[in-house]
Amino acid sequence: MCHATEGGLSLEGVDLDKEAVIQGVVTRGDTPVGGAYVRLLDRTGEFTAEVPTSATGHFRFFAGPGQWTLRTLAPKSEPVDRAVVATIGEIAEVQIAV
Amino acid sequence: MSRDAVLVTADWAEEHLDDSDVVLVEVDEDTSAYDKGHIRGAVKLDWKTELQDQVRRDFVNQQQFSELLSAKGISNDDTVVLYGGNNNWFAAYAYWYFKLYGHDKVRLLDGGRKKWELDSRALSEDAVERPATTYQAKEPDLSIRAFRDETVDAIGTKNLVDVRSPDEYAGRLLAPAHLPQEQAQRAGHIPTAASIPWSKAANDDGTFKSDEELKKLYEEAGVDFGKDTIAYCRIGERSSHTWFALHELLDQPNVKNYDGSWTEYGSLVGVPVALGDEPGEA
């Protein structure tokens, strides 16, 4: 099974048919923001997980299927919330501008 | 205990970086984080290889802790300021160790590494060397550590606080969503335990909520402050964060961290387990 990804973190060794992936990149203007923090909040707004972005601004969660909110905290920026829907066997790509 | 006696702000840490009796110590879940940049002068503690016994299933004993801190160049009289990633989970875990082995002057950096980074404060890649000391840990203070039998006996009598995520509590997951699924043989929670995820005690930037907010959080979730309390999670690190909130910030006297946590409890033969979102019956 071939899934297109938009670069970023490797998905080697991950069985994507079983995962509901949410991933993306945090940017400021045209520049990726490394060391930002992306929080995964469930449909009630409750914290579920948090990851720092890579040097290239990328992040990824293996979420459950359903509605989620990504809250991004970055230096010198206000928090940014983005709604996203995750589905098993698919990759939800999210571009976040801070 | 006042908040100032157990927490320091990033400003305080920056102002005291060069104090000879202040030692910053970074403890991370991602043990490579320190090498990519740390607060200037901070030493690293590796929770897997240095804070755990490498043979027995336990954390380091009094002698091992003494040897570890001696090698790190930390003295009994030093003020130790702990910080780390993951909203200070593992820093809080190390804080609990320091208290357990009788180190009085220990503080957490409020917000940990995340707050430091979000403030755009400086990080250093320079190697840190401190001359060895002769640190002497005290006898472990078991008034803050719960073991499995005491935890089983607490069902229906003491406050049990499960600080894992709601899905782990209900038995839908065995570990946090961003970590490998591993460890316990069974999923679920200890019957009668209240579900109060650790994250509810922290703001988005990783700092602790105010005392008033914390008190309201635990009371509304059913914690009776007139009773003794045992906090647990999966491996004892997130529950150290909650232990810190209850014991150090809210000054509750009889709060223990069950560091065996769900990894141990969920593998015990014959103990009661509750599934689903409700606490369940004793």
Spell out the domains of chain A, with CATH numbers in brackets.
18-97 (2.60.40.10)
Indicate yes or no: CB of A46 within 8 angstroms of CB of B87.
no
**What does the pLDDT look like over B175-229, one tens digit per residue?**
776 665 556 889 999 999 999 999 999 999 999 999 999 999 999 999 999 999 9
Q: Which residue ranges of chain A lie beneath pLDDT 50? A: 1-5
Domain boundary among B94, B113, B139: B139
SS (H, E, C) chain B: CCHHHCEECHHHHHHCCCCCCEEEEEECCCCCCHHHCECCCCEEECCCCCCECCCCCCECCHHHHHHHHHHHCCCCCCEEEEECCHHHHHHHHHHHHHHHCCCCCEEEECCHHHHHHHCCCCCECCCCCCCCCCCCCCCCCHHHECCHHHHHHCCCCCEEEECCCHHHHHCCCCCCCCCCCCCCCCCCECCCCEECCHHHHECCCCCECCHHHHHHHHHHCCCCCCCCEEEECCCCCHHHHHHHHHHHHCCCCCEEECCCHHHHHCCCCCCCCECCCCCCCC
Separation CA A40–CA B281 (nearest Å): 32
Which one, of B264, B76, B245, lies nearest residue B185 by Cα? Answer: B264
**B117 and B234 share one domain:** no
Position B272 in a domain = no
Note whether residue B244 is domain-resident.
yes
Mutation for testing the B interface, residue in A22, A23, A39, A48 having most B CBs under 10 Å: A48
Does residue B276 lie in a domain region?
no
Same domain, B174 and B113: no
Residue B60 lies in a domain: yes
Is B167 an 8 Å CB contact of chain A?
yes
Same domain, B61 and B162: no
The answer to whether residue B52 sits within a structural domain is yes
> Do B128 and B16 share a structural domain?
yes
Cα(B6)–Cα(B54) distance, rounded to whole angstroms? 30
Q: In chain B, how many domains are there? A: 2
Chain B: residue whose CA lies nearest to A80: B204
Residues B108 and B95 in one domain: yes
Inspect the interface and report whether the beta carbons of A64 and B85 lie closer than 8 Å.
no
Residue A49 has its nearest CB partner, among B117, B166, B177, at B177
- Decide if A14 touches B, using CB distance below 8 A: no
In a domain, B179, yes or no: yes
Contact call for residues A61 and A23 (beta carbons, < 8 A): yes
Contact with chain A for residue B87, Cβ under 8 A:
yes
B18/B126 same-domain check: yes
B201: nearest CA partner in chain A: A47
Residues of B acting as catalytic residues: 233
pLDDT at position A2 is: 38
CA distance A80 to B40: 30
pLDDT over threshold 90, residue B167: no
A48 contact residues in B (CB cutoff 8 A) = 165, 167, 177
- Are B187 and B124 found together in one domain? no
| B110, burial (CB in 10 Å: exposed 0-12, middle 13-18, buried 19+) | buried
For residue B274, being part of any structural domain is answered with no
Region of B73 on the Ramachandran plot (φ > 0 left; ψ -120 to 50 alpha; else beta): left
Q: Which domain holds residue B125?
A: 3-139
Assess whether B52 and B24 both reside in one domain.
yes
Residue type, B186: R
The pLDDT assigned to B198 comes to 95
Q: Say what the alpha-carbon torsion angle B14, B128, B46, B247 is, to the nearest 10 degrees.
A: -30
The three-class DSSP label of residue A86 is strand
Q: Is residue B278 part of a domain?
A: no
- Chain A positions touching B205 (Cβ under 8 A) are 73
The residue count of chain A comes to: 98
pLDDT digit string, tens, across residues B61-87: 999 999 999 999 999 999 999 999 989
Cα B188 to Cα B171: distance, rounded to the nearest angstrom: 4
Residues B73 and B222 sit within 8 Å (Cβ to Cβ): no
The reply to whether B197 touches chain A by the CB within 8 Å rule is yes
> Closest-CA residue in chain A for B172?
A64
With an 8 Å Cβ cutoff, are B197 and A47 in contact? yes
Give the model's pLDDT for residue A3. 42
B13 and B118 in a single domain? The answer is yes
Residue B5: both structure tokens together: 């006696």
pTM above 0.80, yes or no: yes
The answer to whether the CB atoms of A61 and B177 lie below 8 A apart is yes
Let me know whether B8 and B100 are in one domain.
yes
Boundary of a domain, candidates B110, B139, B168:
B139
Looking at residue B177, its pLDDT comes to 63
- In angstroms, the separation between the Cα of residue A39 and the nearest Cα of chain B is 9
Instruction: Choose between B239 and B32: higher pLDDT.
Output: B239
Q: Which of the residues A26, A46, A47 would you substitute to probe the B interface, choosing the one with the greatest number of B C-beta atoms within 10 Å?
A: A47
Closest chain B residue to A55, measured at CA: B36
Taking phi over 0 as left and psi of -120 to 50 as alpha, with beta for the rest, B201 belongs to alpha
Q: State the DSSP string of A32-84.
A: E-TT-EEEEE-TTS-EEEEEE--TTSEEEEEE-SEEEEEEEE-TTS--EEEEE
- Between CA B148 and CA B52 the distance in angstroms is 18
Q: Which residue of B has its CA nearest to A75?
A: B118
Chain A residue numbers with beta carbons less than 8 Å from the beta carbon of B118 are 37, 73-75
Q: Are residues B84 and B131 in the same domain?
A: yes
B204 touches chain A (CB under 8 A): yes
Q: pLDDT by residue (tens digit) across A63-88?
A: 888 999 999 999 999 999 999 999 99
CB contact under 8 A, A64 and B167: yes
Select from B139, B160, B187 the last residue of a domain.
B139
Do A71 and B204 count as a contact with CB atoms less than 8 A apart?
yes
User: Which range has the worst mean pLDDT, A12-16, B130-134, B229-233?
Assistant: A12-16
Q: Cβ contact (<8 Å) for B117 and A35?
A: yes
Same domain, B112 and B175: no
CATH number of the structural domain spanning residue B34: 3.40.250.10
pLDDT of B93-108, one tens digit each? 999 999 999 999 999 9
* Dihedral over alpha carbons B213, B218, B221, B226 (to 10 degrees): -140
Taking 50 as the threshold, does the pLDDT of residue B109 lie above it?
yes
